[in-house]
Each structure stands twice: as C-alpha cells, then as structure tokens.
Amino acid sequence: HVVLCEDNLAKFKLPQAHVDRTLAHELVHAYDTCRAKVDWKNCLHIACSEVRAARLSGDCAFTAELNRRQLGFKAQGGACARRRAELSVAAHPHCADIAREAVERVFEPCFADKAPFVSKFD
C-alpha cells in the first residue's frame, strides 16, 4: 500500500512536484515488491529497490538536485541515486552499518533496471 496523508501534505506545504516524486518513488517500491518479491528485511533487496526508486521517480532530476545544492554534472544521476539509496538503506536499523556496502554491491544492475519504464529511458 502507498499512503500519502493529506493533512501532512498541507501541514508541510509540499509542492506538487515533491508529492509527485514521492508517489512515484513509493510506486517503484510497490512494483518491486510484486515483481521481484523484495524481502524488506534483506539489506541487498532494500538497496536495489532504493537505487531504482531514486533513479526512476525523478528524485535525481536536475531541478531536484539543484534544490538540494548538489551541483555536479558528470554522472550526477548515478551519484544522486547512490547517495539517496545509501541514506534510505541506512534508515533501516538492521542495515545502518552496511548501507554503503549494500548499495555498492547492487548498484550497477539495479541502476540499469528501468522496468516498468523501459521505453522512457531507451
């Protein structure tokens, strides 16, 4: 299930673009849960889904990165997906100590996996 609480959206005055990215990010996780049978207790599974969600949701779009003051240009999308995945994986208590290693181990194949948006990125 994906739940966005309207009262929180209003309370924090989130821009529509942020809401759209958040929903897309969570829908990537939902897709991964159905397609890949993600075990949300397995740090490698979590890392892969976080890499994919960061890449596919718009989390790493130029404007989103600019707003975060992350101003790299060369390979910035990959650097962003790696950074954001590490932060998300580290938020899981049982993965905090191995977040960077987990993301590194899965990064290449998971960053390359564009499903279900294959045509958008080809």
Active site (catalytic) residues:
26
Query: Can you list the alpha helix ranges (DSSP code H) found in 1-122?
Result: 6-11, 16-36, 43-56, 62-67, 76-90, 99-112, 118-121
d(CA 64, CA 47): 21
> Nearest Cα to 54, choosing from 31, 32, 21, 30?
21
Cβ-Cβ contacts under 8 Å for 23 (sequence gap 6 or more)? 2, 4
